[in-house]
Amino acid sequence: MSDEKKLLSIVIPVFREEAHIRESLKVIASYAAKCGIDYELVAVDDGSPDNTWKILQELASEIKELRCIGFVRNFGKEAAIRAGLETARGDGVIVIDSDLQHPPELMPEMVRFWREEGYSVVNAKKAERGRESIINKLGAAVFYSFFNKLTGGHFKGSTDYKLLDREVVECYLSLKEHLMFFRGLIGWFGFKSKDIPFTVAKRTRGSSSWSVKSLFRLAIHAITSFSTLPLQLVTFTGILFSLAALGLGIQTIYNYITGKAESGFTTVILLILIIGSVLMISLGIIGKYISKIYDEIKGRPMYIVAQKGDYREDAGDGA
Ligand code: UDP
Ligand code: MG
């Protein structure tokens, strides 16, 4: 067992979880205590409009290992994870959801793989998706098969529930991009990693804040972050249409020469419609990439911290 692996940080993004955060954090803390290593909990309140921040503050005075940060507004889970990783001081960091859908009982095993077997990344992967709606299941299946094709990665069942060694955290923090996709990036790095399967538990309480719309947005974000294939698709469609144009062109000229050129309005209308939509979609794809360049170049911060919770500087150090 390496002597450098002394402190474990557990990063927990929290958004609108007032209904259960008190119990959930205690459960997470109880399993953290079973990992056989000093630990700190870093809870990041992602601008919750409810009482989450207040409860976190109260908890910080009860659980001495807990440190909290709060955003001024909701910046999204990616930003919360980023802030947590920036704040974490551990030699290893676990990122885990606050709603207990990521079973905390896996943590001791994750730590074992990291400390004793030298894995830099331990991924908890969904063996079987828990009780989710058909739309979510179907969406995830379509998304991951498409995403894997585009990026050459293996993201099926991939989640944000991961243990990262300090070297991986540093690597992640050194990236200059603002529009991040945590679970994709960690796989993309290619550090020595171990997968542990788990079954997704039912949400403790409250409801998932992901709507179909936001999942769709995440899918587009993930794909455009890792691949420029959609741009090449535009060119490909262009070539396909040129070939069709050539065929139709020849036919039109032939009809003209042979004096059969008066009919064909249906074809003209259809062509205008098809070409119009292909052009619009192509412009949309190009526009998406341009808007990403625009967002990146502005270099705005990923999040703005409103409050740093009270925590003891000695949290996690010592016994
Ligand atoms: N979360 C967050 N910011 C958001 C949405 C969610 O920090 O804008 C947190 C949330 O509190 C939870 C985790 O991210 O700890 C996963 O969220 P959720 O359970 O809503 O998503 P799902 O389990 O459906 O992926
Ligand atoms: Mg959840």
Does 99 contact ligand 1 (Cβ within 6 A)? Answer: yes
Distance set, CA 287 to CA 240, 284, 318 (Å): 21, 5, 53
pLDDT at 43: 97
The pLDDT of residue 222 is 82
Per-residue confidence (pLDDT) for residue 123, from 0 to 100 = 94
What integer is the mean pLDDT of 267-279? 87
C-alpha 38/C-alpha 187 separation (Å) is 27
Residue extents of the structural domains in the chain: 7-211+301-308, 229-298
Statement: the pTM of the whole predicted model exceeds 0.85: no
Q: Which of 33-42, 141-150, 154-163, 201-210 has the highest mean pLDDT?
A: 33-42
Question: In whole angstroms, what is the distance from residue 254 CA to residue 238 CA?
Answer: 24
**Percent of the chain clearing pLDDT 70 (strictly above):** 88
Q: Which of 71, 209, 210, 216 to mutate to test the pocket of ligand 1 (most atoms within 8 A of CB)?
A: 209
Q: With 0-12 CB in 10 A as exposed, 13-18 as middle and 19+ as buried, what is 307?
A: middle
Kindly report the average pLDDT of the chain as a whole number.
86
> Residue 20's pLDDT is what?
93
Q: What is the mean pLDDT of residues 117-125?
A: 94
Q: Which of 12, 77, 100, 101 is nearest to 214 (CA)?
A: 77
Q: Which of 170, 144, 142 is nearest to 222 (CA)?
A: 144
Question: What is the pLDDT, as a whole number, of residue 13?
Answer: 97
Mean pLDDT of 130-155: 72
Question: What is the structure's pLDDT at 74?
Answer: 95
Residue 317, pLDDT score: 44
Confidence grade of residue 263 (pLDDT, cut at 50, 70, 90): low
Cβ of 46 below 6 Å from ligand 1 = yes
Q: 115 burial class (0-12, 13-18, 19+ CB within 10 angstroms)?
A: buried
Q: What is the pLDDT of residue 315?
A: 44
**CA 101 to each of CA 24, 97, 201, 238: distance values in angstroms, whole numbers, following the listed order:** 10, 7, 5, 45
Half-sphere exposure of 5 (CA within 13 A, CB side): 22
CA of 211 from ligand 2 middle (Å) equals: 12
pLDDT at 310: 56
Q: What is the pLDDT of residues 131-141, one digit of tens each?
A: 677 777 787 77
The more confidently predicted of residues 129 and 282 is 282
Q: What percent of the chain has pLDDT over 90?
A: 49
Pairing of strands 7-14, 92-95: parallel
What spacing in Å lies between the alpha carbon of 215 and ligand 1's midpoint? 12
Res 316 pLDDT > 50: no
Please compute the mean of the pLDDT values over residues 270-292 and round it to a whole number: 89
Specify the higher pLDDT residue, 313 or 125.
Answer: 125
Among 97, 133, 182, say which to mutate for ligand 1: greatest number of ligand atoms within 8 Å of CB: 97
User: Strand runs (DSSP E) across the chain, as ranges?
Assistant: 7-14, 38-45, 66-71, 92-95, 121-128, 162-165, 193-199, 305-308
Q: What is the mean pLDDT of residues 217-226?
A: 83
At residue 314, does pLDDT exceed 90?
A: no
Whether 13 lines ligand 1, by a CB cut-off of 6 Å, is yes
Higher pLDDT, 249 or 111: 111
Indicate whether 268 pLDDT > 80: yes
Query: Tell me, what DSSP letter sits at residue 91?
Result: S
CATH topology of domain 7-211+301-308: Spore Coat Polysaccharide Biosynthesis Protein SpsA; Chain A (3.90.550)
> What is the per-residue pLDDT for 102?
93
Residue range 40-69: mean pLDDT, rounded? 94
Q: Are 302 and 81 in contact (CB under 8 A)?
A: no
How many other CB atoms are there within 10 angstroms of residue 276's CB atom? Answer: 10
pLDDT at residue 1 tops 80: no
Residue 17 to residues 104, 142, 159, 181, 205: CA-CA distances in angstroms? Answer: 17, 29, 19, 23, 8
Asked if 81 and 172 touch (Cβ cutoff 8 Å), the reply is no
Three-state DSSP class for 154? Answer: coil
Over the stretch 73-105, which tens digit does the pLDDT of each residue have?
Answer: 999 999 999 999 999 999 999 999 999 999 999
Of residues 64 and 155, the one with the higher pLDDT is 64
